[in-house]
């Protein structure tokens, strides 16, 4: 199922999610406007909660909006995603400042839009890399802040992903983890789910799974509910609420 992130459909939807204006995504005065600008809000939370601004890691960066936003303050930002299409798009926006794409409106009718790099960004501070979040390269170094945005329920081994974090984050650094807890066997075998299943007949939540994996290395600072909106076409949207947890490295 990971191949769906290489399709024109998903690339267009994620470019719109990351860079689309309110009118481009939600043209009516009614609707869940508070769910717009999700990557921006994730970056703002990281910036607000961080105590140092040396290096940041955006793990599961998709098409790059949060990484660009972080680069306005952090001296170095590394964005990693498994999708070659997403990384190619992010690099184009980094180099050219923009990327045109087609938004699906109805049937086969589309509208051409332009994804523009945020004005606050410093593209020279950003490095986009294609990579597996469960098997990260050894040369990444350490970071002051790590963002995992809606990643964990889309990797085959979320525990392996989380077990790498202590070696990547400096003491006192922050990690923001958001997830809609949409566990699906198409992406992750049930035996590897962090939550949403039964253990010894009792329900296990994703937060409990996170706490088990992060263990004594991290302290949970706070929780937040973060809505986000993905437009499929002019009259069909995915409205979801991500569970956001902020952690501090001991």
Q: Check: CB of residue 233 under 8 Å from CB of residue 105.
A: yes
- How far apart, in Å, are the Cα atoms of 145 and each of 45, 59, 83? 11, 11, 22
Helix (H, G, I), strand (E, B), or coil: what is residue 9? helix
Per-residue pLDDT of the chain (250 residues; tens, 9 = 90+): 558 899 999 999 999 999 999 999 999 999 999 999 999 999 999 999 999 999 999 999 999 999 999 999 999 999 999 999 999 999 999 999 999 999 999 999 999 999 999 999 999 999 999 999 999 999 999 999 999 999 999 999 999 999 999 999 999 999 999 999 999 999 999 999 999 999 999 999 999 999 999 988 999 999 999 999 999 999 999 999 999 999 999 9
CA separation for the pair 167, 169 (Å, rounded): 6
User: Across the strands, what pairs with 198?
Assistant: 203
Question: What is residue 215's predicted lDDT score, i.e. its pLDDT?
Answer: 83
CA separation for the pair 177, 222 (Å, rounded): 11
| CA distance from start to end of the chain | 36
- The pair phi, psi for residue 173, each rounded to 5°, is -70, 165
* Nearest CA-CA partner of 209 in 136, 157, 170: 157
User: Across the strands, what pairs with 174?
Assistant: 145, 248
Question: What is residue 2's predicted lDDT score, i.e. its pLDDT?
Answer: 59
Paired sense of beta strands 55-59 and 76-81, if any: parallel
pTM, two decimals, is 0.95
Structure tokens at 39: 């990557």
Structure tokens at 38: 């999700």
The three-state (H, E, C) secondary structure of 130-166, written as one string: ECCCCCCCCCCCCEEEEEEECCHHHCCCHHHHHHCHH
CA separation for the pair 118, 89 (Å, rounded): 14
Question: What is residue 249's predicted lDDT score, i.e. its pLDDT?
Answer: 96
Would you give the DSSP letter of residue 83? Answer: -
CA separation for the pair 41, 22 (Å, rounded): 14
Structure tokens at 71: 């680069």
């Amino acid at each position: 199922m990971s191949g769906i992130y290489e399709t024109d459909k998903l690339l267009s939807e994620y470019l719109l999610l990351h860079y689309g204006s309110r009118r481009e995504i939600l043209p009516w005065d009614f609707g869940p406007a508070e769910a717009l600008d999700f990557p921006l809000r994730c970056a703002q939370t990281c910036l607000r909660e961080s105590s140092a601004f040396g290096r940041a890691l955006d793990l599961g960066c998709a098409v790059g909006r949060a990484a660009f936003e972080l680069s306005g303050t952090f001296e170095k930002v590394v964005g990693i995603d498994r999708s070659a299409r997403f990384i190619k798009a992010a690099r184009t926006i980094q180099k050219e400042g923009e990327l045109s794409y087609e938004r699906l409106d109805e049937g086969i009718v589309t509208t051409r839009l332009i994804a523009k790099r945020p004005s606050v960004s410093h593209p020279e501070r950003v490095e986009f890399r294609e990579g597996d979040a469960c098997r990260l390269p050894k040369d990444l170094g350490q970071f002051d802040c790590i963002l995992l945005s809606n990643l964990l329920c889309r990797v085959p081994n979320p525990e392996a992903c989380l077990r790498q974090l202590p070696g990547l984050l400096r003491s006192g650094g922050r990690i923001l983890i958001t997830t809609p807890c949409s566990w699906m066997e198409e992406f992750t075998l049930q035996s590897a789910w962090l939550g949403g299943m039964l253990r010894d007949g009792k329900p296990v939540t994703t937060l409990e799974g996170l706490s088990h994996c992060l263990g004594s290395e991290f302290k949970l600072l706070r929780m937040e509910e973060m809505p986000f909106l993905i437009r499929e076409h002019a009259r069909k949207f995915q409205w979801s609420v991500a569970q956001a947890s902020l952690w501090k490295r001991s």
